[in-house]
Amino acid sequence: MTTRRNFVLGAGAGAATLAAASSFPRPLRAQPKEKVVVSWLPIMQSFAYYVALEQKLFEKRGIEIESVRFQAPNQIIDSLVSGRADAGAPGAAAGIAVIAETQFPGTFKVFGLQGGGIKVNRINDALIVANNSPIATFGDLKGKSLGHLPGIQWRTLSRYMVRKAGLDPDKDVRLVELAVGLQVQAVVAGTVDATLSLEPVGSIAVALGEAKRAITNPMSLAVYDPFYSGVSLLTTKFIKERPKVAKAFVEALDEATIMAEKNYTSLRSILPAYTAVKPDQVEIVAQPYLRPWTELNETDLTSYQTFVNVFRSEGALKQDFDIKPFILKPSDLS
């Protein structure tokens, strides 16, 4: 049975003294900041969150951030469902969020999408192999192993890609869960034959010179272009109990998202502080495609719905799910 925990002046002073004291202006006291607990992953989809922290956009709105880093997408959703966090930074698992919402209706609202696409020339994911590997497609994985991020989201997407290539994900390919920081070394060492990886894994692989992208943006090719596997999340508990703070939090991340989109080149030097990217690799790391809440359009929503439909077809979702009510509305913050 799924539980929220798994898926949280002194007395006696004379009148003259009081009168004298009252003639002086009282010092202004700093307003206490509202604490918001945010769960995040060290991936490129979270770039706007890094920008917001570095530019102090939360502090400017009276918010103190308690930043909790995880290594697996399901851990972020678990922290939100259990009430241990108020928000999921950009890059929270789009599919796992929907699964959790079907199990605990009314738990989340989505206010941003993150990914990549062929038409927008932004890299989100890749099939990573060693330089000397003959693997060029998912169809070449028969009898081999494929690494992916831990949790149901990337296991489901990996199974979908293998099945789409004409293979049986239960018989033909061994799926292996690997944290972000272990994926490149696993490919290079031969622990796995390939990985389906999010940025910055592909960029790091190329920078090391020992691995490569066999396919760039396979999810955009197979599911929808652009493709979003990450979302920004608020819990409805946070929204209902502190709507003004939730609104300020969303505004800060929207501002950061727009900054990240427009000024990526000048802002990317912050990546080594938050991800596995090394200072000498910063210039080759692919820019993510980040969509702020105020700019989400029908293409974005269609992409997310198509992604959710893949989960339904693979059996990860037990019921149909309409994403439109799942998206934050201005009225939610009033």
| pTM of the predicted structure, to 2 decimals | 0.88
Average pLDDT rounded to a whole number, residues 271-288:
93
Whether pLDDT at 326 is above 90 = yes
Residue 27 has pLDDT above 70, yes or no: no
Q: How far apart are CA 175 and CA 312, in angstroms?
A: 20
Interatomic CA distance for residues 101 and 92, integer angstroms: 14
Q: How many CA atoms lie within 13 A of 188 on its CB side?
A: 16
> Residue 102's pLDDT is what?
97
Q: In what order do the strands lie in the sheet with 108-116?
A: 63-69, 34-40, 87-93, 227-235, 108-116, 289-292
Per-residue model confidence as pLDDT tens digits over 93-145: 999 999 999 999 999 999 999 999 999 999 999 999 999 999 999 999 999 99
Distances from the Cα of 333 to the Cαs of 65, 106, 125, 250, 251, in angstroms?
19, 15, 33, 10, 11
Cα Rg of the chain, angstroms:
23
Burial class (CB in 10 A: 0-12, 13-18, 19+), 87: buried
SS3 category, 32: coil
What is the C-alpha separation between 229 and 68, in angstroms, rounded?
20
- Checking if the pLDDT of 68 tops 60, the result is yes
Instruction: Determine the pLDDT at residue 9.
Output: 30
pLDDT over 90 at 71, yes or no: no
Higher pLDDT, 9 or 109: 109
Query: Using CA atoms, how far apart are residues 183 and 198, in angstroms rounded to an integer?
Result: 10
Taking the C-alpha atoms of residue 142 and residue 146, their distance in angstroms, rounded to an integer, is: 10
pLDDT at residue number 5: 59
Residue 334's pLDDT is what? 85
- What does the alpha-carbon distance between residue 56 and residue 215 come to, in Å, rounded to a whole number? 37
Q: What's the pLDDT band for 238 if we cut at 50, 70, 90? A: very high
DSSP 269: G
Tens of pLDDT, residues 201-236 = 999 999 889 999 999 999 999 999 999 999 999 999
Q: Exposure pattern of 134-172 as b/e (b: 16+ CB <10 Å)?
A: ebeebebbeebbbbbbbbbbbbbbbbbbbbebebebeeb
